[in-house]
Amino acid sequence: MDPADPDDPGSRHDGTPEGAPPAGGGPGEASPPARPPGRKNQRSETALPGRTRLTGRKKVLAWSGGVLTVLVLIGVLGTYFVYQHLNANLRQVDISGELGRQPVDLHPQAENILLLGSDTRIGQGRGYGSAAVINTDHSDTLMVVHIAADRKWADIMSIPRDSWVNIPACKEGNGQMSSPTTFKINEAFTFGTLYGNNTDLGVACTIKTVEKNTGIRIDHFVAINFAGFRDMVNAIGGVPECNITAINDPKSGLHLSAGHHLLNGAEALGYVRARYTLGDGSDLGRIGRQQAFMSSLVDRVKSKLLNPVAVYQFLDAATRSITIDNQLGGIKGLYDLASSLKNLPPSQVTFFTLPTYPRYYVDPTDLADVMWTQPEDSLIFQAFRNDTLVTKAMLRHHPAPQLSPAAVSLAVLNGTYSYGLQDTVAATLQQDGFKITRTGQASTQTLTQTVIKYHPGGQQAAELVAAKVHGAALLQVPGTGTAVTLVLGGNYGTTAHTGPGTAPLPASSFAPRTASQSICT
């Protein structure tokens, strides 16, 4: 029996054997002094019947166990509260009824997720692109993330926002269906927002447009607004980034020296949006910075995993900023997806921009938009559909597309006193397949050198004209109104009649980089 069992005749309630002297004194010892009157006894000297008196060690264990129970309870309740809070932050929508017939899902275990960044700036103030300047809704950032079925690799394809594509009929904010059209891909987002600012319909139209033009089934989408992007960066104490050259972009309000920087939220927003004063001012350069920043953001979040406060603040900002499809499964679905990628190294995550070429090869008046390069892009889309890694080797064995004279619009001007020379030359070049837009007199008739003028990026078209005109000099002149202008000078010789001929389009723009690579390395 237990020594402290009150039913045991051989035991005492105070834990001493029967017949032993009471604790605190033996025979002949003085009794302890009585407590002063009016003072409460702090602890009974004798255990109450039916209650076991705890030793010091047992008291510590009991206290520790109680505290542990409370802490576990707080942890469970706290975790539940955090889960419910973050899940409530998420905006989940069902747009499946607006997508129509989707492409067949050839590999259900693989995932194709569309990432959209909206350039809506309402409520962001005047820093880094203000609502006072731009207040339309477009999909400013557009990426398709392909996660392999075996979770061993992932490809992230950026689609230039200025891509010229076929936009299918989509439901507009007023409930009417739009007419199919051909336009820039980021305009698909506007169809839902023009009437009633229904961004859900904008997302649906963007998904339909991507699926129609690529044949890739989009399984899920994640849309983020830029105000939330800023808060996410601030929540983790900024994101380190590197730029090769200094950035002084008045339009975005960003000014950074060359080298490494720790960007706060506002600076990061300007960094991924700056465009017009960097490089060639195109969307393609901005896409490269966006890809590099995504890699740095992921690394920064990983470095904060042992800081629960920072992680919570980041997740709180992120979930308040994004909209997802309800089939993704909320916080649990996002967590399960992230857990399935925990062993995916950055070196196996590849970023690339969809190869394109300037649209002025098709329409000389369009100096801003781009066309998708074939057959490269079709091969990339096929790889996404078949759960196959996209590589340079896969695209290398296919010939580059050729530029034909029919794609070149040409103005012929006469810079000499030879009457009608421009019409004679234009007629010959037209027989070779060139599209003659106009003929006329140049601003001077004393030009000695024949010159072929072209706008930025139009060198391929100009070289094709130069192959027909002996003695002509190429001259890039920003702001010319047509793709190519031939100005006849005194040294004009003859037209080289070598048949229509072709010229190659610009070299492939496919330049993949992994998530482990930095812009500065």
User: pLDDT tens for residues 321-333?
Assistant: 899 999 999 988 9
Q: What is the mean pLDDT of residues 341-355?
A: 90
Q: Is 405-504 in the same CATH topology as 93-361+373-399?
A: no
Contact 453, 487 (CB under 8 A): yes
Contact 330, 197 (CB under 8 A): no
Superfamily of domain 93-361+373-399: LCP protein (3.40.630.190)
Coil, strand or helix at 260: strand
Q: Rounded CA gap, 12 and 16, in Å?
A: 6
Stretch among 57-71, 247-261, 286-300, 349-363 having the lowest mean pLDDT: 57-71
Mean pLDDT of the chain: 77
- How many CB atoms within 10 Å of residue 251? 15
pLDDT at 175 (0 to 100): 87
Provide the pLDDT confidence category of residue 506 given band limits of 50, 70 and 90: low
Q: Rounded CA gap, 273 and 226, in Å?
A: 10
Give the DSSP H or E segment for 207. Answer: helix 199-214
Q: Quick one: how many helices (H) and strands (E) in the chain? A: 12, 23
CA within 13 Å, CB half, 365: 1
Provide the pLDDT confidence category of residue 10 given band limits of 50, 70 and 90: very low
User: Is the per-residue pLDDT at 457 higher than 70?
Assistant: no
Encode pLDDT of 101-148 as tens digits.
Answer: 999 999 999 999 999 987 553 233 334 443 333 334 555 789 999 999
User: Is the per-residue pLDDT at 503 higher than 60?
Assistant: no
Provide the pLDDT confidence category of residue 64 given band limits of 50, 70 and 90: low
Contact 409, 462 (CB under 8 A): no
User: pTM here?
Assistant: 0.66
What are the structural domain ranges in the chain? Answer: 57-89, 93-361+373-399, 405-504
Q: Please give the distance of CA 254 from its chain centroid, rounded to a whole number.
A: 20
Give the DSSP H or E segment for 142. Answer: strand 139-147
Q: What is the mean pLDDT of residues 273-280?
A: 64
Q: What is the mean pLDDT of residues 502-513?
A: 65
Secondary-structure class of domain 405-504 per CATH: alpha beta
The percentage of residues in the chain with a pLDDT greater than 70, rounded to a whole number, is: 72
pLDDT at 367 (0 to 100): 76
Stretch among 72-76, 81-85, 234-238, 408-412 having the lowest mean pLDDT: 72-76
